[in-house]
Structure 1
Amino acid sequence: MSTSRVRPLRRVVFAAGSVLTLAALAACTSTAPDAGGAGGAGALEQLQEDGSITVAFNGEEPYSYEDGGDLTGATIALDREIFGELGVESVEGVQTEWNSLIPGLTAGRYDTVSAGMSILPERCSAALFSEPEIMYTTAFLVPEGNPDNLTDMQSAQDAGVKLAVLSGAVESDYADELDIEKIEVGDGQDGLDAVTSGRADALALTGISLRTLAEKTDAPVEVTDSFVAEIDGVPQIGAGAEVFPKGEEELRDAYNEKLAEIVSDKERWLEIVEPFGFTEAEYPVEGLTTEKLCEGDLDALAEELAPELGQDG
C-alpha cells in the first residue's frame, strides 16, 4: 500500500547487485539486527543455513495475508519465488500493524517486510527498499451509489467528506496535504466497518485492495474507478517493494537480482501475481527506480515517465 506519497512515491527500475561475497552484516534474521550469524556469517548465508525467512505482513489482501491459517498473497508469492531461488526454502510470517512494520524491522523482530509498502523518501531514510514490485493506484470504497460522487482526491476535498485511511499509509498523507478530514484505521476491514457504520464517508486505499475487500463482503458498498492521486498538480506515482533493515544491502541486492529476472519477463511476473487479482495495470513501469522514488521529485519523475504512463507529458 502502502504509504506517504507526497512525501512522494518513487518507483524502481532494477539494478541487480552482486552477491558473490557476503560480508558480515547486521543480521536481518529475527534475532537482534546487529547480531551476525554463526561465525560472522552474512544475512543471506544465515538464512540459507536456517532454511527459512520471517517476513512481516499487514494482513491486507491481496498483498500479504492469512487464508485459513496459511500465509499467502502476491508479495508472499514473490518472496517464495525469489528466496527459494536464493536457497531459502520457507517463508514464515508475522502479522503486524502498518505503523509498526518498519519499527519492528529495525528492532530485528523479523527479516523483511512483505506488504507492498510504498517507496517514499522518509521511509528510504529508515529502511532499504527493493526495486519496485507492484505499481499503485488509489480508489475509494463508498456506500452503494457513491452518494458523494467521489472520483479522485480533489472530489473528496470539494465534497468535504471524512475519509477512513490506514494509519501510516500514503492515503493518510494525501488527506493531510489536501486538508481532508480523516480517521485512521488499523486495516481494510476496520475501514469497511467505518464506512458501513457511518463513521466515515469513504475508505481510501489502493484500488486492488478495495476491490478484493468489496468482493468478500455483503455490505452495501462499491469501489470507484482507480486513479493516480494528484497533489498540487503532481501525479503521485506509487510503487510497492520488499523492505530490508538498514545495513542489509547485500541481502537486498541479492533479492533485487532475482526480482529483476522476474520483472524483465512480464509473463512470468503475471504468472506469479495474477492469481491474486493483479494485472498489467500493476506491472512496474520501465524507468521507474527506487533511487528516483527515494529522491522524491515526483514532478520530474512524472514528466520523465509520461510516455510509459500513457500520459501526454
Structure 2
Amino acid sequence: MRIQRENKHRARRLGAGLAAVLLAASALTACTKTDTDGELTLDSLREKGTVTVAFANEAPYSFEKDGEITGGTIALHREVFKRLGVDNVKGVKTDWGGLIPGLNAKRYDLVSAGMSITPERCSQAAFSVPEINYTTALMVKPGNPKNLSNMDTIKSSGAKMAAMTGAIEADYASELAIKDPMLVKDQQSGIDAVNSGRADVFALTAVSLNYAKDNTPGLNVEVTKPFIAVIDGKPQNPAGATVFRKGDTSLRDAYNAEVKKILSDKAEYMRILGPFGFTEENIPDPSLTTEQLCSGA
C-alpha cells in the first residue's frame, strides 16, 4: 500500500511538472505570436484580401466620388496591390493632419495621399520610393488682384494665405515667416476660404488646384502658373509617396519592388494616373531617392 501511495504521489508530481512545462511553452508561444503580429506583412494582407488605406479627400490624389474612393494614388495602389495578390482597396477618410498619427495608431494599413517626403515625416513613418513629383500653385480670385505668383509674393504683399494643416505648403509658410496663415482641414475648406473672401490665396500642389478648377462647376477662381518654392535660397524638390508604419519594412519593400516597375514605364504610369490629370512631368527622376528627401539633401 505504501508503494502504491508513493507511486500516486510521484505521478501527481510528474503531472504537475508537465502541466507547468506546457503552460510555460504556451506562454512563450503566445509572446512570440504577439511580437510577430506587431508587423503588418504582405502575407497577412493576402489572407484578408484587402488593404485599408487612409485618404485626405484631396483630388486628384485620393478622394470620394459618388460614394466610392478614387484618384491617382488610389488607382496606383489598386494596381500595385492587385499585382501583389491583394484584390481590394478600402478607404478611411482622414483629415490631412491626422494621416500619420492614425497610421501609427493602426487605424489603417497605409496612407494613400501623395504625401511629400520630408525629414520630419520620416522621423514618424516610413515612405516608399518617390512616386509623384509635383510643383506648387496658388488659387486666387479672378484677375489675381494681389498679383501673386509664388510664396515670396504672398509674404511681400501681406496676402492672407490658406494651407492645409500638416501639408508642405504650411511648412513653407512657417519657414518663410508668412504672417498668420489660415490652416484648413482639407482641400475643399481652402477653396471655400478663397471663394468666400476669408483668404486671398490657397496654396497647394498645381495638379490639385487645376483639377479642382476644371472639375468644379461654377467655381470662379484662377490658378497661377506652377512654381518651385525656394526656401533659404534652396529650390524645394517635393515628391509624394506611399506612407507605411516604420515597423512594416517587409511590406514596404515588397510594395517598392512592384511600384518601381510602373515608375520605369511611362506608358504604364500614364495609363494609371493620366486619367486624373497627372502627366509625365509628375514621374520622379529615378536618381531621386527616399533617403535623400528624408535627409533634407
Q: Fold-level match, TM-score > 0.5?
A: yes
In structure 2, the CA distance between the partners of 1:208 and 1:42, relative to structure 1 (3 Å rule), is: closer
Q: Provide, for residues 136-159 of structure 1, a one-character-per-residue CA deviation record: whole Å limited to 9, x for no partner.
A: 100000000011111111111111
Q: Which residue of 1 aligns with 2:213?
A: 214
What CA deviation, in whole Å up to 9, does each residue of 1:136-185 have, x standing for no partner? 10000000001111111111111111100000111011111112131001
Residue 107 of structure 1, CA deviation:
0.5
Matches within 5 A, 1:53-202: 53-181=51-179, 182-202=181-201
Q: Which has the higher contact order (CA 8 A, sep 6+)?
A: 1
Shift of 1:212: 1.2
In 1, Cα distance between equivalents of 2:282 and 2:233: 22
Q: Which runs of 5+ in 1 are unaligned?
A: 1-33, 298-313
Query: Matches of 2:238 and 2:37 in 1, distance apart?
Result: 40
1:13 aligns with none
Secondary structure of residue in 2 paired with 1:148: coil
Q: What is the TM-score normalised by the length of structure 2?
A: 0.86
The structure richer in helix per residue is: 2
> Could you tell which deviates more after superposition, 93-102 or 181-190?
181-190
Question: Displacement, 1:286?
Answer: 2.3
SS across alignment from 1:126: coil
Q: Could you tell me whether the CA contact under 8 Å between 1:145 and 1:222 is conserved in 2? A: yes
Shift of 1:41: 8.7
* Residues 23-34 of structure 1 mapped to structure 2, 5 A cutoff: none
* Counterpart residue number, 2:264: 264
Mapped contact 1:36–1:42 kept (Cα < 8 A): no
Identical amino acids, percent of aligned pairs: 54
Mapped partners of 1:134, 1:233: distance in 2: 24
8 A Cα contact 1:161 1:180, kept in partner: no
Q: SS at 2:47's partner residue?
A: helix
Q: Give the number of aligned pairs.
A: 264
SS in 2 for 1:45: helix
TM-score, normalised on structure 1? 0.81
CA contact (8 A) 1:152 1:227 kept: yes
Structure with the greater alpha carbon radius of gyration = 2
Question: Which sections of structure 2, spanning at least 5 residues, go unmatched?
Answer: 1-31
Structural RMSD (CA): 1.8
How far has the Cα of 1:263 moved from its partner?
Answer: 0.6
Distance 1:143 1:36 in 2: 55
